[in-house]
Structure 1
Amino acid sequence: METHFTLLLVTLLLTSIITPSLSAGTHRCHPNDYKTLMEIKQALNNPYLLASWVPKTDCCGWYCLQCDEKTNRVNELTIYRGEISGQIPSAIGDLPYLDSLEFRKLTNLTGSVPLSITKLKSLRFLRLSWTNLSGPVPEFLSQLPNLDFLELNYNQFTGQIPPSFSTFTKLGALRLDRNKLTGSIPESFGHFIGSVPDLYLSHNQLTGSIPKSFANMDFTRIDLSRNKLVGDASMLFKPNGSTEILDISRNMLEFDLSKVKFPEKSLISLDLNHNKIYGSIPNGISAVGLQMFNVSYNRLCGQIPTGGNMGRFDYSAYMHNKCLCGSPLKKCT
C-alpha cells in the first residue's frame, strides 16, 4: 500500500513538470487577445486551419499567429490558404498590438474590409490578396499612419482609387493591381508626402491620362499595364532617376519615344508594348543595362540601336511597328 502511494506521488509530480499548467499558458497569452481570437475563429465558422486554436490553451502557441516576446501580445496574424469562408471579422480591430495582418489566397472570403481595422494604429504590413473581397477600395485605410506595405491585389474591388492614399508617409509599396478599378489615377499620387512607394495598378480598367504630377515622383518600380490609359507617359522617364522597372504596356498611350532619356544607372526592365508610341528608339538606350525590353505593337520607325545589352532581345521585342528596321528585323534600306 505504501509503495503504491509513493508511485502515485511520483506520477503526479512528473505530470506537473512535463505538462504546462493552465495558469502558465493563460499568463503568457493576454486574456483580451485570447477572447478576441476565439471570436474571430467563431466568426470564420471554426475552420480546420485554426484547429490549433483550442480553448483554455496558450494562444501564443497557436498556428497562424505570433506574439511579441516582450509584451506577449499578438502582433502578427496570417490567415493563408485553407478552407476559410465568410467575411473578415470586425473583431480584428480588437487586437491592438498587431503590426502585421494577412488574409491571402482565400477564395471564399467575401464582403468588404471592416471599418474596425482603423483601430490598428500599430499596423505596418497589410496584405488582403487573392480573395473575393469586393466593394470600393476602403479610403479609411489611409487612417493607418504606420503602414509601410499595402497589398489589395487579386480581388474584386471596384470604383475609384482613393486619392487619400497619397497621405501615407511611410509606405514602401502600394499594390492595387488585378481588381476592377475604374476612373483615373489620382492627381495626388504625384504628391506623396512621405516616401515614394512602388506602385502597382495593372490589370484594372483605369482611364484618362497619367497625371502630369508624376513628373514630381521618382518611382523605383511602377506598373500601369493593362488599363485604358491614354496620352503622354514621357514624364515617367527621368535620366537621373532611380527607376528600375517601368511597365506601361497594353494601354493606348501616345508619345514620341525619340525625345525620351532613360535612367541609365538603374533601369533593368522596360515594357511599352501594345500602345500608340511613335518616333524612333533613342540610341541612348544601348547604354542602359536592360534585362527586359519590349516595344512591340506600336508605331515606331527608324533603325534599332545596337551595342550594350540590345543584342539579347529578339524579334518579338520589336514586331508590329510601323517601320522599325535593323537586327533582329530586316535591314534598313
Structure 2
Amino acid sequence: MSSKRVKHLSINTKLHSPLLLCSIPNNSGYLNMDAFHLSAFLLLLLSSLSSACNPNDKRALYQIKKSFNNSYHFASWTNQYDCCSGDAWYGVDCDPVTHRVNGLRIFNDPEIVGQIPSTIGDLYYLDLLLLHKLPNLTGPIPPAIGKLQNLRTLMLTDNSLSGPIPEFLGTMQNLTLIELSFNKFSGSIPAVLGNLNKITAIWLDRNQLTGSIPESFGRFQGSVPDLKLSHNMLSGEIPASLGNLDFSNIDFSRNQLEGDASMLFSAKKSTQEIDISRNLFEFDFSNVTFPTTLTNLDISHNKIQGNIPSEITELQNLQFFNVSYNRLCGEIPQGGKLQDFDSSSYFHNRCLCGAPLNVTCK
C-alpha cells in the first residue's frame, strides 16, 4: 500500500486505541494488533450489549418466572437473550432510551398457577401491565402493585382473581385504563377511583361487586371515563351527580339498580352507548331527550313507563335499540331507524302499539 494513502488518513499511529489499531494500514499491510487493548475493547462492547436490560428489572423478571413455576410462557426468558433486545423476551417491552422494562404482558396460559407475585411491584417503570386469560391465576391484587406509580394501563382480565378492588388504585394518578373484567372480585367499588384525573375507562364488569355506584363517579376531573359495571350485584340508585358529566359509553346492565336513570340522557351530551338493561329502574321515558351521537340504547327488562319520544326518530346513527319488557304505552313513532328493529325490541310492554308490533293502535 502506498505511503500516499497512509498520509491521507492523517492518523497518529502511536495511539493505542484498539479500534484505531485494527483499522490503520501501513506499507507492509496492517499494523500489528495490540491484543490486550483489542480484548479489552471487545469485552467492554460485549458488556455494554449484555447490560442493556437493567439488572434490577432482570432480577424481578426472573423472580416472576420462578413464582409461576417456570411456565412455558417464559421459555424465552433466559440468559441467551437480553430482556430488552427487541422481542427476545416474550411479553416484555422496554423503553428504547432508558432500557427499563415498561410493559409486561402475560396471557393465554392455563399452566400459570398461583397468585400475582409481589415482585411485579419492583418493575417501577411499568406503564402497561396485562394479565389476561390465566384461569388459574387466583387471589387478590397485591399491595405491591401500588408501587407502580408510572402505570397507565392496568388490565387484569379473564382470570380467577378475587377479593376487594383495592383502595390504593385511586392513588395511582397516571392510570388511564382500569380493566378488571371477568374475575371474582367482591365488595364495593372504591370511591377513591373518582379521584383519578387521567382515567379514560373503568371496566369492572362480570364480577361479584355489591353496594352502590360511588357518588364520586359524578365528579371526575379532566377526562370523563367510559363506565362498564355490568354483570355484578350492584344496588341502590344511580347518583344524580352522574347527570353532570358527558359520558361516552355507559353499561350498568344486569345489576339490581333502581330508581331514576333519566339523568344519563340529554340532547346536550355526546353519549354513544347506554345500556341499563335488566335492572329495576323506574322513570318516565316520555320526557327523555337524546344525544344525536347515540348508536346503542338498551333499557329492556326494567319498570320504565311513559311513551317512546318521537325525537328518537331523528337519531341517524342508531344501530341497536331495545325497550322490551317495560311498562311503556302509546304508538311507536314512525320513521328514522325505529322500524329497522324487529318486534323483539318492543314486545312485553304494557300497551305499545304500531309497527313493527302486530298490535293496532286504537
TM-score (norm 2): 0.85
Is the counterpart of residue 76 in structure 1 residue 103 in structure 2? yes
Tell me the percent identity: 56
Is the counterpart of residue 174 in structure 1 residue 198 in structure 2? no
Match of 1:66 in 2: 93
For 1:148, which of 176, 194, 215 is the aligned residue?
176
C-alpha distance 260-250 of structure 1, shift in aligned 2 (>3 A): same
For 2:235, which of 207, 218, 227 is the aligned residue?
207
TM-score (norm 1): 0.92
Match of 2:65 in 1: 41
Query: What are structure 2's unaligned runs of at least 5 residues?
Result: 1-44
C-alpha distance 211-295 of structure 1, shift in aligned 2 (>3 A): same
**Equivalences for 1:83-122 in 2 at 5 Å?**
83-122=111-150
Is the counterpart of residue 251 in structure 1 residue 275 in structure 2? no
1:25 CA drift (Å)? 4.3
Is the counterpart of residue 328 in structure 1 residue 356 in structure 2? yes
Is the counterpart of residue 137 in structure 1 residue 165 in structure 2? yes
Is the counterpart of residue 274 in structure 1 residue 301 in structure 2? yes
For 1:57, which of 61, 69, 81 is the aligned residue?
81
Match of 2:39 in 1: none
| Residues 25 and 57, structure 1, Cα contact 8 Å, conserved in 2 | no
| Residues 226 and 249, structure 1, Cα contact 8 Å, conserved in 2 | yes
| Residues 207 and 230, structure 1, Cα contact 8 Å, conserved in 2 | yes
Match of 1:186 in 2: 214
1:306 CA drift (Å)? 1.1
Q: Secondary structure at the match of 2:65?
A: helix
RMSD: 1.1
Match of 1:123 in 2: 151
| Residues 167 and 194, structure 1, Cα contact 8 Å, conserved in 2 | no
1:218 CA drift (Å)? 1.0
Number of residue pairs matched? Answer: 312
Match of 2:190 in 1: 162
Q: Deviations over 1:6-30 (max 9, x none)?
A: xxxxxxxxxxxxxxx8635422111
Deviates further, 176-185 or 23-32? 23-32
Match of 1:7 in 2: none
**Equivalences for 1:301-312 in 2 at 5 Å?**
301-312=329-340
Letter in 1 for 2:83: C
1:56 CA drift (Å)? 5.8
Letter in 1 for 2:275: D
